[in-house]
Amino acid sequence: MLILRNAADVALIVDPAMQALVDLRFRQLNSPDALDAPDAELIVVEGGDAVSEIEAAVGLPILHGLFDDLPFGHPDFSPYFDILEEHINGNTRIYEMVCIGNDDGAATAIFVADSEGIPSDLLALCRSFATPAVTSS
């Protein structure tokens, strides 16, 4: 997994579609038009990453409820994220999961490519809850 804290880190991303989307988010966060841009951490999930590692990095549950610990797949499961969008760029599908951590707007955005090597349960969650992105990269 890549944990990106500034725009220069975008160069570490190999996939061009993922790189373009994450670069767009950094530009939006750093735009002169952004009012008091919140602290943000952007995480790119890579093939072979375990969901437990991602959860440890963000400090939040992904496949379990925050307060009731119900697992994804349970009829009463309620995900923790605030936004989950599906971006389609050509043949590439990327999920953007945003968790807002506090009232100041500090956020973590997790980018998940719908590709081989990504945990199947994470992809199933994304496919189940994602809405089409308002804008594409």
pLDDT over 90 for what percent of the chain?
69
Residue 33: count of CB within 10 angstroms of its CB: 6
What is d(CA 112, CA 114) in angstroms, rounded to the nearest whole number?
A: 6
Average pLDDT over residues 84-105: 88
DSSP codes of every residue in 31-97: -TTSSSPPPEEEEE--TT--HHHHHHHHTS-SSB-TTT-PBTTSTT-----SEEEEEEETTEEEEEE
Please state the length of the chain. 137
Residue 46: count of CB within 10 angstroms of its CB: 17
Q: Tell me what pLDDT residue 7 has.
A: 87
CB contact at 8 A, 106 and 60: no
CB contact at 8 A, 43 and 108: yes
Write the Ramachandran bin of 68: left for phi over 0, alpha for psi from -120 to 50, otherwise beta: alpha
- Res 51 pLDDT > 50: yes
The sheet carrying 107-113 orders its strands as 2-4, 40-44, 107-113, 92-100, 83-89, 131-132
Structure tokens at 95: 């999920």
pLDDT in tens, 18-41: 999 999 998 888 776 655 555 778
